[in-house]
């Protein structure tokens, strides 16, 4: 009763493991056998950990360091496809209408394909190289040989800020439409009863691969602290060889205010118009800070969260998050 979206319900894959929209089952084999290419970069995250930020960074570094690419103003969803988006649209009570600007952007990039009909996967398949692909799926649900072929940038964010950010997103997007308050949301979170839960095993799968030469494991908090330092690490990892001045351009272009002010990275207004985002809720590019959880967690909620962290030891102890 707390979610008015997810019309087709959720499915728990194995006890204690990934909770996903039921239509995942129709796509699981395709995700597990997706053919990655050597020039692919997968931006892999648990939701609300800075995915869109990293997609825009990676796409800009590889394609647009001078900001003169003809697709600069094309929506990030179309430049950098969301691998498992089809299972989300398929689960919705109200899939986006065909005349929606994003749907139209898909059509333009992928003539003849219907983005509401399993076509995000097809679009991803035919997208010209180099592809920057977003995925919230954990390593274990993706092609087993992924790292033998492609690169993965894994972005992690501390779970308290993820929880607050996710709460706002789930209230905002019609496909989820959470109608409870924050304490209720924390109840679901601490029982691992949220889409894509449980959090720690997803993180653990990324963390375990952090030394792999085709993985760059970054923290959202480090990006907030010193974006040029983290862009330098990306520059080496991606082999983009950008100059210092180009890195500064990328940093400005992908800054919170830069991304919030551009329709190509902040779809809030367009999606509110089309009805996919609920009016009166926080924007998709919302606050972009570390430590916002302190504005939402009461001592009781902190205690509950602490018990949940305890339950997921040793992983919750091992990953060195900063919470401020
Ligand atoms: P908040 O809700 O805390 O503001 P994702 O893209 O994985 O859904 O993550 C969304 C979170 O990243 C949101 O966090 C959003 O505001 C934040 N974000 C988006 N662009 C950002 C940027 N350029 N700099 C910092 N944070 C950004």
Tens of pLDDT along the chain (324 residues) come to 688 877 778 899 987 789 999 889 989 999 999 999 999 999 999 999 999 999 999 999 999 999 999 999 888 888 898 999 888 878 776 666 666 666 666 666 666 665 556 677 888 888 889 999 999 999 999 999 999 999 999 999 999 999 999 999 999 988 888 999 999 999 999 999 998 999 999 999 999 999 999 999 999 999 999 999 999 999 999 999 999 999 999 999 999 999 999 988 887 777 777 777 888 888 889 999 999 999 999 999 999 999 999 999 999 999 999 999
Cα 20 to Cα 117: distance, rounded to the nearest angstrom: 18
323 domain-assigned = no
Residues 6+ apart with CB under 8 A from 266: 259, 260, 283, 284, 285
The per-residue pLDDT for range 286-321, each reduced to its tens digit, is 999 999 999 999 999 999 999 999 999 999 999 999
Ligand 1, atom 10, residue with closest C-alpha: 48
How many domains, in total, are found in the chain? 1
Ligand 1 atom nearest to 289, measured from its CA: 3
Ligand 1 and 288: CB distance under 6 A: yes
In contact, 123 and 81? CB cutoff 8 Å: yes
Q: Is 302 in the pocket of ligand 1 (CB under 6 A)?
A: no
- Best mutation site among 75, 286, 297 for ligand 1 pocket (most ligand atoms within 8 Å of CB): 286
Q: 267 in helix, strand or coil?
A: coil
Q: What is the pLDDT of residues 110-165, one digit of tens each?
A: 666 655 566 778 888 888 899 999 999 999 999 999 999 999 999 999 999 999 99
Q: Strand, helix or coil at 151?
A: strand
96: which DSSP letter?
P
Q: Looking at residue 78, which CATH number applies to its domain?
A: 3.40.50.300
Q: Is 134 in the pocket of ligand 1 (CB under 6 A)?
A: no
Q: Is residue 285 part of a domain?
A: yes
Domain residues for 251?
10-318
295 found inside a domain: yes
| Ligand 1 binding pocket mutation candidate from 52, 75, 155 (most atoms within 8 A of CB) | 52
Measured over the CA atoms of residue 28, residue 151, residue 225 and residue 211, the dihedral's sign is positive
Query: If you take atom 23 of ligand 1, which residue's CA is the nearest one?
Result: 256
CA distance 318 to 309: 11
Residue 49 Cβ inside 6 Å of ligand 1? The answer reads yes
* Among 128, 129, 156, 122, residue whose Cα is nearest residue 44: 156
Domain contains 128: yes
Place of tokens 């033998």: 148
**Quick check: is 4 in a domain?**
no
5 assigned to some structural domain: no
300, 189, 7, 9 alpha-carbon torsion, rounded to 10°: -130
The beta strand positions in the chain, using DSSP E, are 10-12, 19-21, 41-45, 132-135, 151-156, 215-219
Catalytic residues: 136
First to last CA, the chain: 34
Residue 324 placed within a domain: no
Ligand 1 pocket, 170 CB below 6 A?
A: no
Residue 71 lies in a domain: yes
Whether 266 lines ligand 1, by a CB cut-off of 6 Å, is no
């Amino acid at each position: 009763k707390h979610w008015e979206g997810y019309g087709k319900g959720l499915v728990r894959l194995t006890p204690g493991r990934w909770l996903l929209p039921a239509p995942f089952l129709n796509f699981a084999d395709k995700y597990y056998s997706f053919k990655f290419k050597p020039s692919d970069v997968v931006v892999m995250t648990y939701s609300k950990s800075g995915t869109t930020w990293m997609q825009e960074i990676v796409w800009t570094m590889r394609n647009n360091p001078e900001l003169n690419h003809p697709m600069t103003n094309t929506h990030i969803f179309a430049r950098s496809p969301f691998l498992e988006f089809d299972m989300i649209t398929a689960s919705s009570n109200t899939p986006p209408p065909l005349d929606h600007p994003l749907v139209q952007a898909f059509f333009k990039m992928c003539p003849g394909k219907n983005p509401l009909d399993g076509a995000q996967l097809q679009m991803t398949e035919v997208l010209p190289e180099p592809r920057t692909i977003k995925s919230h799926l954990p390593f274990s649900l993706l092609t087993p040989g992924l790292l033998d072929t492609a690169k993965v940038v894994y972005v992690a964010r501390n779970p308290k800020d993820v929880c607050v950010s996710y709460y706002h997103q789930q209230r905002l997007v019609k496909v989820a439409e959470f109608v409870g308050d924050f304490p209720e949301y924390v109840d679901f979170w601490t029982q691992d009863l949220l889409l894509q839960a449980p959090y720690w095993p997803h993180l653990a799968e990324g963390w375990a691969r952090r030394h792999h030469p085709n993985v760059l494991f970054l923290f959202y908090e480090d990006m907030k602290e010193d974006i040029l330092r983290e862009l330098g690490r990306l520059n080496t990892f991606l082999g983009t060889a950008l100059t210092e001045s180009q890195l500064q351009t990328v940093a400005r272009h992908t800054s919170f205010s830069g991304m919030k002010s551009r329709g190509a990275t902040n779809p809030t207004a367009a999606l509110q118009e089309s009805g996919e985002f609920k009016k009166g809720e926080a924007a998709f590019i919302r606050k972009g800070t570390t430590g916002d959880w302190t504005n939402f967690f009461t001592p009781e909620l902190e205690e509950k969260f602490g018990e949940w962290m305890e339950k997921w030891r040793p992983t919750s102890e091992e990953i060195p998050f900063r919470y401020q």
